[in-house]
Amino acid sequence: MQLTAPATTERAPRDTGVRDTDGMAVASFVLGLLGLLVLNILLGPIAIVLASVALVRGTARRGRAWLGLTLGVADLLVLLAFMELDSTVSWGF
């Protein structure tokens, strides 16, 4: 009688890395979009960093990462425009 080892259901480490980069791409998009409304001085740079890391690591959601990067830059441009108009660092509706 020969015993065999049970099949393992562990995921390969590469699957986790791809899932992480996809999560970074989605997070950068959401934070960039949210940053257009509130806390753009904080959320804009975070969106830019997350999108850049996701693109460098080769995310499958490249379009979403590019949108996150674009929205992060737009957050900072909106902040600069409102700072120029109000002559203050913060702005509101």
Task: Please report which confidence band the pLDDT of residue 10 belongs to, taking 50, 70 and 90 as the band edges.
Answer: low
- 10 phi, psi to nearest 5 deg: -75, 145
pLDDT in tens, 17-75: 567 888 889 999 999 999 988 888 899 999 999 999 999 998 888 899 999 999 999 99
pTM for this predicted structure: 0.74
Domain ranges in the chain? Answer: 18-86
Task: Please report which confidence band the pLDDT of residue 86 belongs to, taking 50, 70 and 90 as the band edges.
Answer: confident
Residue 14's closest CA among 2, 22, 5, 6?
A: 22
Residue 80's closest CA among 89, 67, 71?
A: 89
- Whether 14 shows a pLDDT value over 60: the answer reads no
